[in-house]
């Protein structure tokens, strides 16, 4: 997407520098910083400490990490060590494991001499595939927004609520939940977005708001607790969120607080959609309770980062000394609360049948593997 008329992806290989570069998201929206990732430790830190974040981008970063490692040392020992170190960085987003497996399964049968170029080509391809999946999610999601818009009075926008940042910054480009929004704007449909701030790390306040601002999309930043109230008052037409892992039966794991939005949406007859590229589906897991939920540092709860009066970026403590923070980073929304899954192939029910109908080849692969 564009920043001040220049097109950016969230990660790219800079041919001139011969290096992978990313937008370091820790400093947004106040500072736009691009950094290079070179060593395995750089890549691992970038994922673990959330310089990059969002399930698809975590996967894309891991793919580039393996590619860079293969340039340094293409041995099986190094391939396995890199897989292990990267896999430990963040446990919930399945795209991480998906990308690491894609890379290892491709590279293992190859002679060492051919691994670096094959790994580089596949990492670039994984990024391109993510962009295309997300573009198609937008094409399909647009039809949902278009249908809602058709029932509105002239000049009345479609009000969309979203949680966390499932925007282009969370993917390689377009975003998942935001792609239908960007497509709606391109199609000339009036929309307005309620952006949940998304405590504790405020991905909504810092990242989604920044995306909406940069693209001139009307929006308001709201506290995480406002959504239910707005739904009761008829001020939300549809909820669209992303996901870090969706099970083969359609349960959806996403940023903490998503479940409460889904409950409120159900109570108020507001449709609740989840947008996802297929690498976010964990075909090996049926029930959401089986998904590992990342526990992050309590300091993310007790402290908040922002721009200080002198313009610098700083952190302030908001709770008393000695109060520990409890920080489960994701929750599971049961499929019964999900109106539909917006995938690159179309919209399907959040159910075993819905997903199997959309991705029949995955079901036969699982059957053969089992
Ligand atoms: O902890 P984060 O910022 O990596 O969490 C991101 C989310 O929960 C997103 O909603 C999810 O990864 C989908 S991104 C397209």
pLDDT digits (tens, 9 = 90+) for 55-79: 999 999 999 999 999 999 999 999 9
Q: List, in sequence order, the alpha helices (H) in 151-256.
A: 179-186, 203, 209-214, 227-232
The predicted structure's pLDDT at residue 4: 83
Contact by Cβ (8 Å): 255, 177: no
Q: Is the CB of 53 under 6 A from ligand 1?
A: yes
- The angle formed by the CA atoms of residues 211, 212 and 218, to the nearest 5 degrees, is 175
Pairing label, strands 252-255, 330-333? antiparallel
Same domain, 348 and 241: yes
Which residue out of 173, 196, 237, 244 is catalytically annotated? 244
Same domain, 237 and 115: no
What CATH number should be reported for the domain holding residue 270? 3.40.50.10470
The number of folded domains in the chain is: 2
Same domain, 120 and 148: no
Contact by Cβ (8 Å): 26, 201: no
The per-residue pLDDT of the chain, averaged, comes to 97
Q: Which atom of ligand 1 is nearest to the CA of 58?
A: 4
Q: Is the CB of 171 under 6 A from ligand 1?
A: yes
Question: What is the rounded (10 degree) CA torsion for 125, 126, 129, 134?
Answer: -150
- The angle formed by the CA atoms of residues 61, 62 and 63, to the nearest 5 degrees, is 90
Examine the residue annotation and report whether 244 is marked as an active-site residue of this protein. yes
Same domain, 165 and 218: yes
Same domain, 22 and 78: yes
The predicted structure's pLDDT at residue 124: 98
Q: What percent of the chain has pLDDT over 90?
A: 96
pLDDT greater than 80 at residue 366: no
Q: Is the CB of 243 under 6 A from ligand 1?
A: yes
Nearest to 242 by CA among 172, 313, 124, 162: 162
The predicted structure's pLDDT at residue 364: 78
Q: What percent of the chain has pLDDT over 70?
A: 99
pLDDT greater than 80 at residue 367: no
Longest dimension (CA), the chain: 63
- The angle formed by the CA atoms of residues 185, 186 and 192, to the nearest 5 degrees, is 0
DSSP 8-state assignment for residue 183: H
Same domain, 188 and 322: yes
Mean pLDDT value across residues 182-198: 98
Mean pLDDT value across residues 283-310: 98
Same domain, 145 and 79: no
Same domain, 240 and 258: yes
pLDDT greater than 90 at residue 41: yes
The predicted structure's pLDDT at residue 1: 85
Same domain, 168 and 38: no
Contact by Cβ (8 Å): 48, 90: yes
Q: Which atom of ligand 1 is nearest to the CA of 176?
A: 15
Residue 110 is assigned to a structural domain of this protein: yes
- The angle formed by the CA atoms of residues 270, 275 and 281, to the nearest 5 degrees, is 125
The predicted structure's pLDDT at residue 329: 98
Residues in contact with 267: Cβ distance below 8 Å, sequence separation at least 6, in sequence order:
228, 231
Q: Is the CB of 170 under 6 A from ligand 1?
A: yes
pLDDT greater than 90 at residue 32: yes
Residue 134 is assigned to a structural domain of this protein: no
Does the N-terminal peptide bond of residue 235 adopt cis geometry, omega within 30 degrees of 0? no
Contact by Cβ (8 Å): 256, 294: no
The predicted structure's pLDDT at residue 99: 98
Residue 289: domain span: 139-369
Mean pLDDT value across residues 134-155: 97
pLDDT greater than 80 at residue 370: no
Helices 40-48, 76-87: crossing angle, 10 deg rounding: 20
| Chain segment 323-361, per-residue pLDDT in tens | 999 999 999 999 999 999 999 999 999 999 999 999 999
């Amino acid at each position: 997407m564009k920043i001040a008329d220049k097109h950016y992806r969230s990660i790219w290989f800079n041919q001139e520098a011969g290096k992978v570069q990313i937008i370091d998201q820790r400093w947004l929206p106040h500072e736009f910083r691009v950094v290079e990732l070179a060593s395995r430790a750089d890549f691992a830190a970038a994922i673990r400490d959330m310089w990059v974040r969002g399930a698809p981008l975590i996967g894309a970063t891991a793919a580039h990490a393996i590619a860079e490692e293969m340039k340094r040392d293409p041995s099986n020992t190094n391939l396995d060590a890199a897989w292990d170190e990267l896999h430990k960085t963040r446990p919930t987003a399945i795209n991480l494991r998906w990308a690491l497996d894609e890379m290892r399964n491709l590279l293992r049968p190859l002679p060492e001499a051919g691994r670096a170029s094959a790994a580089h080509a596949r990492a670039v391809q994984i990024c391109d595939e993510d962009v295309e999946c997300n573009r198609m999610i937008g094409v399909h999601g647009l039809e949902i927004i278009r249908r809602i818009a058709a029932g509105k009075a002239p000049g009345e926008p479609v009000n969309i609520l979203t949680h966390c940042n499932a925007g282009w910054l969370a993917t390689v480009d377009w975003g998942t939940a935001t792609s239908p929004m960007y497509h709606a704007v391109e199609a000339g449909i009036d929309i307005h977005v309620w952006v949940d701030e998304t405590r504790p790390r405020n991905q909504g306040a810092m990242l989604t708001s920044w995306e909406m601002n940069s693209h001139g999309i009307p929006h308001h930043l709201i506290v995480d607790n406002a959504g239910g109230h707005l739904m009761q008052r008829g001020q939300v037409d549809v909820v669209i969120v992303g996901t870090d892992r969706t099970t083969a039966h359609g349960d959806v794991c996403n940023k903490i607080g998503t479940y409460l939005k889904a409950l409120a949406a159900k109570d108020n007859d507001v449709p609740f959609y989840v947008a996802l590229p297929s690498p976010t589906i964990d075909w090996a897991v049926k029930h959401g309770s089986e998904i590992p939920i990342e526990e992050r540092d309590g300091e993310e709860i007790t402290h908040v980062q922002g721009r200080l009066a002198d313009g610098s970026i700083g952190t302030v403590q908001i709770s008393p000394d000695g109060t520990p923070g409890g920080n489960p980073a994701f929750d599971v929304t049961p499929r019964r609360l999900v109106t539909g899954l917006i995938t690159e192939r179309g919209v399907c029910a959040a159910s075993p049948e819905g997903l199997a109908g959309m991705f029949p080849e995955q079901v036969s692969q699982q059957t053969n593997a089992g």
